[in-house]
Structure 1
Amino acid sequence: MRKPGDDRLGETQRRHWQQTYTAHPDMYGMAPSAPATHAAEVFRSAGVRTVLELGAGHGRDALFFARSGFDVIATDFSPTGLEQLTAHAAASGLTERITTLRHDVRDPLPLPDDSVDAAFAHMLLCMALSTEEIHSAVAKIRRVLRRGGTFVYTVRHTGDAHYSAGTPHGDDIYEHGGFAVHFFDRALVESLATGWELREIHPFDEGDLPRRLWRVTQTVPRSA
């Protein structure tokens, strides 16, 4: 079973994603994801100005947030993905609205406390992270969010067709087609909302399999 601090799987996944972005530029297309479209509406209604996107990849959602008028800090552990994002931002005249930052979610966020209004992560937390690493990542995100700040994230869950399929790595992590996924149960989602205000757990499908996901919205209490 994989334990926190055992980075062999994480390093394998970093190499795999780097190779994937190199071989398949703009692999997800340039249209924003449905969760990003929803998140933009939530952020706009909350008066958000700055959005931290974790696991931005080649930038389809970061670019959408920037086009929607938000200032975006886009992070990813793949330099190739961030290079593609930067090129698209320049071509779209969005350079001033997007800051890119190479960052592994296991590491401390190099941002000040209470410095961003909102955070977004589409299928980042369900990568090859242990449960302890997931809790740590959410704590890091909370640290940089202002009071009242909103976090919207999506994860594949245990109702997904790939759950229990492929190569098991322990801790509900299964590798299929070279991609390792931590499948969430409801208890994990609820535990990650401890100390937050849990606004929504919304089930939805994505892709041809289809992938089964939850879209979760939670906010930092204003009295925190």
Structure 2
Amino acid sequence: MSDDGQDLAEAQRAHWQSAYGDHPGMYGRQPSAPAVHAAAVFRAAGVRDVLELGAGHGRDTLYFAREGFTVQATDFSATGLKQLRAGARQQGVAGRVTTVVHDVRAPLPLPDASVDAVFAHMLLCMALSTEEIHAAVGEVRRVLRSGGIFVYTVRHTGDAHYGAGIPHGDDIFEHGGFAVHFFGRAMVDALADGWRLDEVQPFEEGDLPRRLWRVTQTLPRERA
């Protein structure tokens, strides 16, 4: 990572820590629409355990746990994960939830082929370079079991904030203190290389509204 990239990463870490500290449970208690969709996909595929990347304060983690999945939740905000653990205790699902403070730029702290599914709502479109995004998806591939499913969402270049705010290069723009890497379709296709790309579904979220893709891709099953 360049010095500029490192500085941006540290600034974003501090910004998210402050955001979760100043606004506990800032995204509410209800799960995101992509999490509801992912749970249905996971259940149909017989998934038992889910790794959630960028879990924040855990609205989707807790939903997965309530739906009966075992969930490992990661985020680089210790403040957000503290709120997640408190929510798990309050909702009676603490036994199905574990948390790890982790920066997605680093290798995942999990063994190879150790989870059935991975979920990441808007994590890959944070202030990550293209190289870092490819490395993160490589780590997802490493920790998924044969036939594992990856559901992720990203803001795309049709979003109203694309090209607005402070430019950081590599299609990253900072608006309101939050830096976003906006995806073109070529990026989605490149990240699916070697996978089965099951779905690229456009949707909107929030008041702007944010414009996103929901992507589902599956690892090929290894032949015996």
Same fold, judged at TM 0.5 (above):
yes
- Identify the residue that residue 19 of structure 2 maps to in structure 1: 20
**Counterpart amino acid of residue 128 in structure 1:** A
- Identify the residue that residue 220 of structure 1 maps to in structure 2: 219
CA offset digits 1:18-46 (Å, max 9, x no partner): 00000000000000000000000000000
1:5 Cα deviation from its structure 2 partner: 8.2
Question: Is contact 1:14-1:77 (8 Å) kept?
Answer: yes
- Identify the residue that residue 131 of structure 2 maps to in structure 1: 132
Q: Secondary structure at the match of 1:189?
A: helix
1:114 Cα deviation from its structure 2 partner: 0.3
Distance 1:206 1:161 in 2: 12
* Number of residue pairs the alignment of both structures matches: 223
Superposed CA RMSD in Å reads 1.2
- Identify the residue that residue 8 of structure 1 maps to in structure 2: 7
Q: Structure 1: which 5+ residue stretches go unaligned?
A: none
Is the aligned partner of 1:148 residue 2:147?
Answer: yes
- Identify the residue that residue 30 of structure 2 maps to in structure 1: 31
Distance 2:102 2:90 in 1: 24
Q: TM-score, normalised by structure 2?
A: 0.98
Q: Secondary structure at the match of 1:28?
A: coil
Is the aligned partner of 1:57 residue 2:56?
Answer: yes
> Which aligned segments of 4 or more residues in structure 1 are displaced greater than 6 angstroms?
none
**Counterpart amino acid of residue 132 in structure 1:** E
Distance 2:57 2:148 in 1: 25
Is the aligned partner of 1:107 residue 2:106?
Answer: yes
Distance 1:130 1:57 in 2: 20
1:91 Cα deviation from its structure 2 partner: 1.0
Q: Structure 2: which 5+ residue stretches go unaligned?
A: none
Q: Secondary structure at the match of 1:36?
A: helix
**Counterpart amino acid of residue 159 in structure 2:** D
- Identify the residue that residue 74 of structure 1 maps to in structure 2: 73
Distance 1:204 1:152 in 2: 14
Q: Secondary structure at the match of 2:100?
A: strand
Question: Is contact 1:3-1:130 (8 Å) kept?
Answer: no
**Counterpart amino acid of residue 195 in structure 1:** G
**Counterpart amino acid of residue 179 in structure 2:** A
Q: Secondary structure at the match of 1:158?
A: coil
1:223 Cα deviation from its structure 2 partner: 2.7
1:92 Cα deviation from its structure 2 partner: 1.1
Distance 1:22 1:4 in 2: 27
Question: Is contact 1:126-1:181 (8 Å) kept?
Answer: yes
**Counterpart amino acid of residue 38 in structure 1:** H
- Identify the residue that residue 115 of structure 2 maps to in structure 1: 116
1:171-210 alignment runs, 5 A limit:
171-210=170-209
